[in-house]
Amino acid sequence: RKGGFYAAFRVDGQSMQGCIDNGSWVVCRLLEEAHQMRGGNIHLIATKSEGLVLKRIETSIPNTIICYSDNHIYSPFTLPNDEIVRVWAVESCLEQSFSFNSEKATLKLENFIENLSKR
């Protein structure tokens, strides 16, 4: 969409629940430089000690980012820039769950068929 290198990652965990559910897939764009990170946006961050973390970020402290979760039971934490290996900007999310059976759709179809038979 904007050029660059894209990849998809499967989400494992509950920390972003409410926005991105466990088992969903996030499509991310690799950021070339730290100044491309945007406060308030969700990023996938590869760290030296924690591995991959999916968090919203704030960049208000020099040489550090604040990482926070959408799920309020998880506390925010700071991450020094020298701990960051790579950063990906989350561009979209593919939900893990998909219902093949929709009661609402079934009722609409039944209603449609019933109206057809009345003609």
- DSSP three-state, residue 38: coil
Neighbouring C-beta atoms of residue 68, cutoff 10 Å: 17
Q: What is the pLDDT of residue 33?
A: 85
* pTM of the shown model: 0.77
Tokens of 84: 């960051």
Strands 6-10 and 84-94: unpaired
Ranges of the chain with pLDDT below 70: 1-2, 96-102, 104-106, 117, 119
* CA-based nearest residue to 27, from 13, 49, 48, 11: 11
Beta bridge partners of 67: 57, 77
Q: What is the pLDDT of residue 101?
A: 58
pLDDT tens by residue, 64-90 = 999 999 999 999 999 999 999 999 999
